[in-house]
C-alpha cells in the first residue's frame, strides 16, 4: 500500500479533529469554569451546546464515526494484526455515539471534546509515522496515556451524572441505559488500554505473572 495515501488519510483525520477540538473544547472549558458540575453533566443539550457552531461539530463528530472504520481496512490491507482492542473500540464507540446523540445525552460534550483532542494528536502522529518523519523526541507512550486519561474521565462523568440523577431533585438529561453503557464501555476501554500500555511499554524486568513477558510490536490503536 502507498504510504503517502495512508499519510494523507491520517492527516485528513488529524486536521478534522483539530478543527473539531477548536470548536468544542473552548465551550467545555467555559462550562467547567462557569457552571456547577451538576449542570455540566445534567443540563439539556438543547439549552447549552446543542446548537450553533458547537452543535454543528458535535453532529459532524457523530457522522465521522463510520468513516473511522476505514482504519481497519488499512490494517488489513497492510497485513498487520487486527487486535481485539482495535475493532471492539471502533464498533462500540460508533454505537454509543449514535445512542448518545439520538437521546441528546447531557454528558455528550465531554466525550466529543476529549475524543477530538486525543484524535487530533494521535492521527497527526500516525501521519508522521507513515511518512517516516516522526521526531525522536515524540514518545508514543504519551498518546497512550492521553487515551487512558480520556477513559478515566469518561467513567467519572458517567458516575457523576448517575449520582445527580439518583440523589438530587430536578432533572438530569441523560437516560439510565446510556449512563450504564457509557460507564461499562469506558471501564472496559480503561482496562484494555492499560493492559496494552503495560504490554508495550513496561520493561520486561518489571513485568509480573504470565502472559506479559513478550513485548508486542507497535500497533495502531484509535
User: What are the catalytic residues?
Assistant: 89
Give 81-84's long-range contacts (Cβ < 8 A, gap of 24+).
Answer: 81/219, 83/219, 84/192
CA Rg, the chain, in Å? Answer: 18
Evaluate the CA torsion angle 154, 94, 55, 45 in order and state its sign. Answer: negative
Assess contact for 154 and 110: CB atoms under 8 A.
yes
Query: Distance (Å, rounded) from C-alpha 204 to C-alpha 143?
Result: 21
Count of other CB atoms within 10 angstroms of residue 33: 7
Amino acid at each position: 500500500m502507498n504510504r503517502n495515501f495512508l499519510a494523507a488519510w491520517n492527516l485528513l483525520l488529524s486536521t478534522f479533529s483539530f478543527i473539531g477540538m477548536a470548536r468544542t473544547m473552548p465551550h467545555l472549558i467555559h462550562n467547567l469554569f462557569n457552571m456547577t458540575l451538576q449542570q455540566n453533566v445534567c443540563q439539556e443539550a438543547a439549552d447549552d451546546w446543542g446548537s450553533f457552531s458547537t452543535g454543528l461539530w458535535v453532529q459532524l463528530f457523530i457522522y465521522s464515526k463510520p468513516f473511522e472504520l476505514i482504519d481497519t481496512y488499512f490494517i488489513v490491507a497492510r497485513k498487520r494484526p487486527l487486535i481485539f482492542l482495535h475493532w471492539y473500540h471502533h464498533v462500540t464507540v460508533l454505537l454509543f455515539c449514535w445512542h448518545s446523540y439520538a437521546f441528546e445525552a447531557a454528558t455528550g460534550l465531554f466525550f466529543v471534546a476529549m475524543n477530538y483532542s486525543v484524535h487530533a494528536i494521535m492521527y497527526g502522529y500516525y501521519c508522521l509515522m507513515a511518512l517516516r518523519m516522526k521526531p525522536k523526541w515524540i514518545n508514543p507512550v504519551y498518546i497512550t496515556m492521553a487515551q487512558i486519561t480520556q477513559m478515566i474521565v469518561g467513567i467519572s462523568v458517567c458516575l457523576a451524572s448517575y449520582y445527580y440523577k439518583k440523589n438530587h431533585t430536578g432533572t438530569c438529561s441523560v437516560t439510565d441505559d446510556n449512563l450504564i453503557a457509557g460507564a461499562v464501555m469506558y471501564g472496559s476501554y480503561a482496562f484494555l488500554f492499560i493492559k496494552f500500555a503495560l504490554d508495550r511499554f513496561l520493561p520486561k524486568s518489571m513485568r509480573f505473572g504470565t502472559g506479559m513477558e513478550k513485548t508486542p510490536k507497535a500497533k495502531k490503536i484509535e
